[in-house]
Chains A and B, each alone.
Chain A
Amino acid sequence: MTELLRTEHLTRHFKIGGMLSRRMLHAVDDVNFTIGEREIVALAGESGSGKSTIARVLARIYKPTAGEIYFQGKPVSRIRSRPEALRYSSLVPMVFQDPFASMNPVLRVQHGVLRSLKLHRPELSGQQRTEEAARVFEAVGLGADMLERFPYELSGGQRQRVGFAQALAMRPKLILADEPVSMLDVSIRIGLLNLMAELRDKTGVSVLYITHDIASARYVADRLIVMYAGQIAETGPVDDVLANPRHPYTQLLLSAVPDPRAPMSTAGEADRGEPPKVIDPTPGCRFRYRCPLAIDTCAQVTPVLAELLPGHDAACHVAQSARGGAEQVKAFT
């Protein structure tokens, strides 16, 4: 798997409180992961887990507080000039969550695509731009006749497709999709998830699919990263992680997902499901307050990701110490 993007110790904190406060919200802490070419990686977690922040740091909306991002081997922090920045944003575009807010309501839907083309592929003439816009619209399953429409004339699913078209127009390598289907009707979601898989297969683009819905992550992704309270809890091939979850948080998540075909699991029923706001945290595992398996080490030493099975890492002392990780520790079954 050729590496496309790699993060090392990626950290992002936000200052909170008034002007004189020194409190820091640790939105993302020491996150290390890679994304390869031609793969869909799901970044799953609940609200407050840091997944959206990671997307915005990767999109260069925020600068990392610490750590580095390497894209195609080169550090992203070294990007200084406008041409370099433009190049990066064309290779790593973002698709937003809210189909109703992500397009300017008074401009035609082709506006975003045409502007992207103008900014990032200046070699194209006006005529070529229009043709290319039609081409990317067809590639996402929209007719070229939709180019001249206004956002209010399109449904939510169609608007999200326009979002993907805008990203595609720039010939990206990695699309950052921030919860692209969460606000769509259930019957429309599958269509967009299928589109992401199709784009990966046909154009070779990778997708970082950010979501809180594990089931959709399983449906579309090749690999899964589970986040909790700003840190990675577990990562690995998606089927592997879901079949053999090692981190107690992953197990809790899986037990809570309703599956109509199976009776509702009662594991972890008492858990209220309130992830912490991480403000000036002390060392130690952030999940220990909710974990039935927490031991003393969990309160003192922050766990780091370690490989427990081939390609499958988890950051949990208990899981790591259980016979070298080979045996699954069950916190929530």
Chain B
Amino acid sequence: MLEVSGLSVDYVLDHGSVRAVDDVSFTLERGEFLGIVGESGCGKSTLLFAVAQLLAPPAVVADGSVKFEGTNLVGLTDGQLSAIRWRDMSVVMQSAMNALNPVKSIGAQFKDAMRAHGKPSKQEIAARSAEVLRMVGIDPVHLKSYPHQLSGGMRQRSMIAMAMLFTPDLVIMDEPTSALDVVAQRSLMVQIKELQLSYGFAVIFVTHDMSLISHFSDRLMVMYAGQVDELGATRAVFDNPLHPYTQGLLEAFPSIHGPRVPLKGIPGNPPDMARLPTGCRFHTRCPLAVERCSQVAPDLYQIDDALVRCLRRQDGSLSSPQQGSLSR
């Protein structure tokens, strides 16, 4: 349904351009839940915006294509895109307070969204607005409420309701739960998953919280420094992480159950995208790096059903399970 090929996004600045997303490719089937994880600066949000065709200058798609149901979205005009937007593909942003208009009631914003993509009658608008609110578990009386009158969790739910107005085939979400507390977060995730299973839409979910997404996504994509470092079935990635970065990330989450183990995290910092290391972008922080890692930049390599970008995996000098892996 969605095929991203070789997508690269550059930020064009005064003194040259910086590649924020480098040659990313993946496919998405109908009804599939894809989680994209990574830390700050890895390019996951930029990638998301590129897929949704929401990039603003100085960011541009430098290369690659985004084929949504056969049509390449890159290069379409706004007019052509608006036919797809919201009807077939909708976006849920990170913070409802950024995306919702604070001076309009929720109902008014739903009405705007519906009018922008069709010509529904007043009754149709009222009926559908109430229906989507009920879908996310909010009493339709809140159509009259303003965003600031709702709690954080309810605001996020109304964002999701708005995204569901036309029951799209694909919903793109950029960290919709990061501003919420843990109980509200769980509740919202469960709601999203339920909706997804009932209505069968595909989801691309970007987050920095790996443990949260582990329970909801079908496949997981790990990004680092603008590239895809690992892509595979969620359970497989957690039980048997192939890339040392994924492993490091997993080990950076202290556990509530089980014995208290001293953890190390990943030393160093993510690289400056304007001054990337030679060879593999992760090698300066990788505990398993060898000399070749600083010389050769690895490509994505297939191992069973997963893809990984690691020289040592590719040449077999790294075999799993790795010591310190979580499932032990």
Establish whether A and B are touching in the complex (CB under 8 Å): yes
A296 proximal to B (CB < 8 A): no
Within 8 A of B (CB), among A251-268: 252-254, 256-264, 268
Bound form: Cα–Cα A193–B263 in Å: 10
Bound form: Cα–Cα A242–B256 in Å: 8
Shortest CB distance A212–B (Å): 6
Q: Which of A185, A239, A257 contacts B182 (CB 8 A)?
A: A257
Task: Give the most central of B212, B248, B254, B269: most A CB within 10 Å.
Answer: B254
Q: Which of B137, B151, B183, B260 contacts A219 (CB 8 A)?
A: B260
**A274 CB contacts on chain B under 8 angstroms:** 151, 153-154, 184
Which 5 A/B pairs are nearest by Cβ-Cβ distance?
A273-B183, A273-B184, A190-B265, A219-B254, A46-B181
Within 8 A of A (CB), among B242-275: 248-250, 252-258, 260, 262-267, 269-270
B238 proximal to A (CB < 8 A): yes
Shortest CB distance B231–A (Å): 17
Shortest CB distance A141–B (Å): 10
Q: Is the interface of B mostly helix, strand, loop or mixed?
A: loop
Q: B residues touching A (Cβ–Cβ < 8 Å)?
A: 39-40, 137, 151, 153-154, 180-187, 190, 208-212, 214-215, 238, 248-250, 252-258, 260, 262-267, 269-270, 326-327
- Assess the B252–A187 pair: CB atoms within 8 A: yes
**B209 CB contacts on chain A under 8 angstroms:** 186, 258
A284 proximal to B (CB < 8 A): no
Bound form: Cα–Cα A190–B250 in Å: 12
Task: Give the most central of A242, A269, A273: most B CB within 10 Å.
Answer: A273
A218 proximal to B (CB < 8 A): yes
Shortest CB distance B134–A (Å): 15
Q: Which of B215, B260, B265, B327 contacts A218 (CB 8 A)?
A: B260
**B154 CB contacts on chain A under 8 angstroms:** 274
Task: Give the most central of B154, B257, B263: most A CB within 10 Å.
Answer: B257
Shortest CB distance A241–B (Å): 11
Shortest CB distance A292–B (Å): 14
Q: Which of A190, A191, A271 contacts B254 (CB 8 A)?
A: A190
Interface residues of A, CB < 8 Å — how many? Answer: 44
The residue of chain A having its C-beta at the shortest distance from the C-beta of B181 within the complex is: A46
Question: When A215-B254, A264-B215 are in contact, do A258 and B186 touch as well, CB less than 8 Å?
Answer: yes
**A261 CB contacts on chain B under 8 angstroms:** 238, 255, 257-258, 326-327
- Assess the B182–A190 pair: CB atoms within 8 A: no
- Assess the A157–B269 pair: CB atoms within 8 A: yes
Question: When A214-B256, A259-B257 are in contact, do A155 and B269 touch as well, CB less than 8 Å?
Answer: yes
**B255 CB contacts on chain A under 8 angstroms:** 215, 218, 259, 261
Shortest CB distance B267–A (Å): 8
Question: When A215-B256, A239-B260 are in contact, do A189 and B265 touch as well, CB less than 8 Å?
Answer: yes
- Assess the B187–A273 pair: CB atoms within 8 A: yes
Bound form: Cα–Cα A271–B154 in Å: 13
**B262 CB contacts on chain A under 8 angstroms:** 194
Bound form: Cα–Cα A270–B249 in Å: 30
- Assess the B250–A218 pair: CB atoms within 8 A: no
Task: Give the most central of B151, B209, B212, B248: most A CB within 10 Å.
Answer: B151
- Assess the B256–A187 pair: CB atoms within 8 A: no
Shortest CB distance A223–B (Å): 14
Shortest CB distance B257–A (Å): 7
Interface CB pairs A-B, < 8 A, 16: A46-B183, A185-B39, A185-B40, A187-B252, A191-B265, A215-B256, A257-B182, A260-B214, A260-B215, A260-B238, A260-B250, A260-B326, A261-B326, A263-B215, A268-B183, A273-B153
Q: Which of A219, A260, A275 contacts B211 (CB 8 A)?
A: A260
**B264 CB contacts on chain A under 8 angstroms:** 190, 194
**B181 CB contacts on chain A under 8 angstroms:** 46-47, 212, 273, 275
The residue of chain B having its C-beta at the shortest distance from the C-beta of A269 within the complex is: B190
Bound form: Cα–Cα A188–B183 in Å: 24
Bound form: Cα–Cα A21–B257 in Å: 47
Shortest CB distance A85–B (Å): 35
- Assess the B254–A216 pair: CB atoms within 8 A: yes
Q: Which of B180, B214, B252, B260 contacts A189 (CB 8 A)?
A: B252
A202 proximal to B (CB < 8 A): no
A272 proximal to B (CB < 8 A): yes
- Assess the A254–B256 pair: CB atoms within 8 A: yes
- Assess the B186–A253 pair: CB atoms within 8 A: no
Question: When A187-B252, A260-B238 are in contact, do A272 and B184 touch as well, CB less than 8 Å?
Answer: yes
**B257 CB contacts on chain A under 8 angstroms:** 259, 261-262
Bound form: Cα–Cα A214–B183 in Å: 12
- Assess the B187–A271 pair: CB atoms within 8 A: yes
**A254 CB contacts on chain B under 8 angstroms:** 256
